[in-house]
Chain A
Amino acid sequence: MTSPHLSVRGVFKRFGPVVAVNDVSFDVAHGEILGLIGPNGSGKSTLFNCILGQTAPDAGSVEVDGRRVTGSRACDLSLLGVGRTFQQLAVFPGLSVLDNIIFAAQEHRGGMLGRLFMRPDAGLTEEADRMIEFFRLGAVRNKLAGDISYGQRKLVDAAMAFMAGPRLVLLDEPAGGVNPTMLAELRERLLTYNREHGTTFVVIEHNMDFVMSLCGRIMALAEGRIIADGTPEEVRAEQTVIDSYLGG
């Protein structure tokens, strides 16, 4: 049996009297697409932040490829091949789309001092252009990221998460605020990327159609605990999920 790509064991996080994540454990296999669903305040984003080193868990551990990364800094995780997108748009509005995407990989090239003497594009323009083409952003390549539409910025955000060739990507509400046409595009791009590169995805999402059609496995959280874990059909049929989240 192969070891899991991501392994979360007994993660616990409390904010004052509120328990945000309560003894959560799960594994994600290589190449799997796992969806995390649950009502607001169920602990999804806190769990993400504990995995990604942005919040230190009170207890528990996180392993990537068998390597303990609990409490690691986000930059170190990125260099280990863990990418992410944010719930709030997180592009660099004052940089062009091309520069946003180049930056997403440049810190993975050489050492810090070495980068000072590299070509301005760190030799990444061709690769960035391939990513721009993959996400169909050619028309806005040289525009400032702050000047393009919300949906296009979501695609830039996703392109940035993939630019450094991560093996594990955590996507925080990628469908939020994206129009249906762009959403279909995004889903298709994510599925293609997963198929072509074998990248593992963990996706937090409220858009049920999007998450159910994207993910092979769904995990539902409520009040910081896992209340269901299975295929989309199984989770959709789970009574506790219907009661606490999906409704009648």
Chain B
Amino acid sequence: MRGHREAIGVAVVVAALIVAPLGQGNYIAYLLCSWLMLAIAAMGLNLTLGYAGRISLAQASFIGIGAYATSIVTLAHYPWVLGMAVGVVLCFVVGLLLGFPALRVRGHYLAFVTLAFNSLFFLVARNEDWLTGGTYGLSGMPRPRIGPVSTSGQLAFYYFTLAVALLAAVVLRLIVRSPWGRAFKALRENEVRAESLGLDVRRLTLLAFAIGSAYGGLAGAIEAPLVQYIDPGSFDVVQSLSLLLMVVVGGLGEFWGPVLGSAVAVLLPEALRVTAAYYLMLYAIAVILLMTRCPGGLIGLARRIAARPARRRGAAVS
């Protein structure tokens, strides 16, 4: 029953996303693309942090790796798919390596290890200008062609981004609904107990980092042709913190949390633009209120509201 409700909800949202940019300007399509791109990156971070319980403040660097890999490959006139594959595989491998410190350290210490990695990536991207263009960055990345169809128009690229985001969501859904999803949660909740029940904690921790990072790489592969200009500043620690905020605001360890959280981060400031200079203040206050009143994020808030009538009925019966 719950599964049916969810399927209907998803169908309605997908239908809404299909019609959303119609009749709107390019800017709206661009905003929606940015949201979907960040949602992909946040979904990956949600797997690492929300499901597996390993903090990472390096997700922006994986978007960067994916974006630079895609840019370099497509600027060399190779297809986008190849650039995306290179970026995703590279992020998977680098994420796997970044997972090794997570076998030794936890919490704040792990946060600083990953933060240091993000800073390291920023410095490499800034200083190795033979590869990355340094502070000038890379520009003019072509948008992908799907057979005879070009996605160079904003609307076409939006539908392309939507398709990639949906595919990424389906794959992640299959992962977290499989026994792996339960294992990730067990790892988060009690690693010693999970290991005593046969879970190879080392392997799963590394996989949580690798898969989460690969999603960052996929988001980067969208960002490069979306913005058509990348520089190291787009992938700094502030962006990683922003992704962390998206995951937490949406609901840590909730499948749809990152999608909602990134919507809040990208779309809400736009909606609040009518309040002129106050919009950032209002946004900050909204986040503070949400986090203090409902640490389960927006999904937690929705659950609480949905449970209210049932609680009331229970109270009336008792």
Contact = CB atoms under 8 A, between A and B. Distances in A.
Nearest to A123: B179
B179 A75 contact: no
Interface of B: 175, 177-183, 185-186, 188-190, 192-201, 203, 253
A17 to B, nearest CB: 27
B246 to A, nearest CB: 21
B178 A75 contact: no
B178 A92 contact: no
A155 B72 CA distance: 57
Given A52-B196, A86-B196, 5 more contacts: A75-B195, A90-B192, A95-B185, A99-B185, A118-B178
B196 A120 contact: no
B253 to A, nearest CB: 8
A73 interface: yes
Contacts of B182: 95, 99, 102-103, 106, 120
B293 to A, nearest CB: 21
Interface centre among A52, A54, A102, A103 (most CB of B within 10 A): A103
A164 interface: yes
B298 to A, nearest CB: 18
A187 interface: no
Contact of B186 (A95, A112, A122): A95
Interface in A69-97: 73-75, 77-79, 83-84, 86, 90-95
Given A79-B198, A112-B200, A92 B193 contact: yes
A75 B192 contact: no
A160 interface: yes
Nearest to A82: B196
Contacts of A74: 192, 195-196
Given A93-B189, A115-B178, A116-B178, A106 B183 contact: yes
Interface residues of A, number: 35
Contacts, number: 88
15 contacts: A52-B196, A78-B196, A90-B196, A91-B193, A92-B193, A94-B189, A95-B186, A99-B185, A103-B183, A103-B197, A112-B203, A120-B177, A120-B178, A120-B182, A121-B179
Interface of A: 52, 54, 73-75, 77-79, 83-84, 86, 90-95, 99, 102-104, 106-109, 112, 115-118, 120-122, 160, 164
Contacts of A54: 192
A88 B119 CA distance: 40
Nearest to B174: A116
Sorted nearest first, the 4 A-B pairs with minimum C-beta distance are: A107-B198, A78-B198, A90-B193, A92-B189
A108 B198 contact: yes
A93 B193 CA distance: 12
A31 B41 CA distance: 52
Contacts of B190: 90-92
Given A92-B185, A95-B186, A120-B177, A107 B192 contact: no
A102 B197 CA distance: 11
**Which of B185, B194, B201, B253 has the largest count of A CB atoms less than 10 A from its CB?**
B194
A82 B198 CA distance: 10
Contacts of A117: 178
